[in-house]
Amino acid sequence: MPIEQYIFLSLALFTIGIVGVLTRRNAIIIFMCIELMLNAVNLLLVAFSKMHHLKLMEVNPNAGTEGQLFVFFIMVVAAAEVSVGLAIIVLLYRNTRSVDVNFLNRLKH
Amino acid sequence: MSVTEILFYSLSAMAIGSALLVILSKNPVHSVLWLIVTFVAISGHYILLNAQFLGIVNMIVYAGAIMVLFLFVIMLMNLSTHKEAKKNKWLQMAGVLSGGLLLLVIVASLKGAEQATLVAQTNEGSIGLLENLGKTLFTDYVIPFEIASVLFLSAMVGAVVLGKKTETTKS
């Protein structure tokens, strides 16, 4: 597949994630949109690694491995992030009885 | 139209459609379920790119573990019965507008880039297989791999500390 198709697909997913973060008020859905953005970037990294591989196959048969390992590490970090983030959301719910992010405006006053 | 193209376009439509439904559905449980569909579609893309290891890891870690965690938290808080307050109409429109503008700017900047000759390899190539990735992970990237375990330990400690009931959170 031409690489631009993958770029446009990832871009669409990333933009949907951004729009979700900007328009929703539920903290959990905002968090899910962040996961969506991470996944869009992962998809683009894998597509680029395969593109790199196709181009440099004769020179280096393992070209592009680093990109996929990078995706693996992004997944590792995302898993850790989700566990801590959900703990923070549970704490938020326990304190305000809601997961609405608009209640988190104490720094404004 | 080849089979690869048909698969690519149907998986893309599935991913984008379910991603839109994630941000459009009112009920958070439905959002989680649509996000699982999105992740399955992205796993399909990985398998189409012959990145089989990442496809399976994405399926197990994201669609399996992380989404179950989300669902568990939503059910724990009993959020599906809550009514989410609507954001200000103008703020919502501004959000959609700025997202659309970002899309427009990046698409416009990509228009001029030379990319017509660049192709992502599908269905073949062995770099995405477990043998190659494992060999590189445990030789060149063994220190980041070990540091990731420290990261997990600190995340675990952090989650326990945050989740523990303390005197200050009770007030």
Mean pLDDT in residue range B7-34: 92
pLDDT at position A39: 94
Q: How far is A108 from chain B (nearest CA, A)?
A: 18
pLDDT at position B86: 66
* pLDDT surpassing 80 at residue B159: yes
* pLDDT surpassing 60 at residue B170: no
In the structure, what pLDDT confidence band is assigned to residue B115 with cuts at 50, 70 and 90?
low
Mean pLDDT in residue range B12-39: 92
**Partners of residue B12 in chain A, C-beta under 8 Å:** 5, 9
Torsion angles phi and psi, residue B127, rounded to 5: -70, -25
Are B11 and B41 spatial neighbours (Cβ–Cβ below 8 Å)?
A: yes
In the structure, what pLDDT confidence band is assigned to residue B163 with cuts at 50, 70 and 90?
confident
* pLDDT surpassing 90 at residue B43: yes
Residue of chain A with shortest Cα separation from B18: A13
Interface confidence, given as ipTM, is: 0.91
Mutate which of B48, B52, B73, B124 to disrupt the A interface (most A C-beta within 10 Å)? B73
Break chain A into its structural domains and give their ranges: 3-108
Answer whether B38 sits within 8 Å of A36, measured CB to CB.
yes
Query: What are the residues whose beta carbons fall under 8 Å from the beta carbon of A10, sequence distance 6 or more?
Result: A40, A41, A43, A44, A47
Tokens of B106: 């990046």
Answer whether A35 sits within 8 Å of B155, measured CB to CB.
no
Q: What does each C-alpha distance from B132 to A44, B19, B139, B151 come to in angstroms?
A: 20, 32, 11, 25
Mutate which of B118, B154, B167 to disrupt the A interface (most A C-beta within 10 Å)? B118
pLDDT tens-digit map of A36-87: 999 999 999 999 998 888 888 888 878 888 889 999 999 999 999 999 999 9
Give the residues across from B119 on adjacent strands: A2
pLDDT at position A80: 92
As a whole-number percent, the residues of chain A with pLDDT over 90 amount to 47
pLDDT at position A20: 92
Query: What are the residues whose beta carbons fall under 8 Å from the beta carbon of B118, sequence distance 6 or more?
Result: A2, A3, A4, A51, A55
Residue A104 contacts B, CB cutoff 8 Å: no
* pLDDT surpassing 60 at residue B109: yes
Break chain B into its structural domains and give their ranges: 1-81, 129-165
DSSP string over B83-147: PPPPPPHHHHHHHHHHHHHHHHHHHHHHHTS--TT-B---S--STTSHHHHHHHHTTTTHHHHHH
Domain A3-108 CATH (choose: 3.20.20.140, 1.10.287.3510, 2.40.220.10, 3.40.630.30): 1.10.287.3510
CATH number of B1-81: 1.20.120.1200
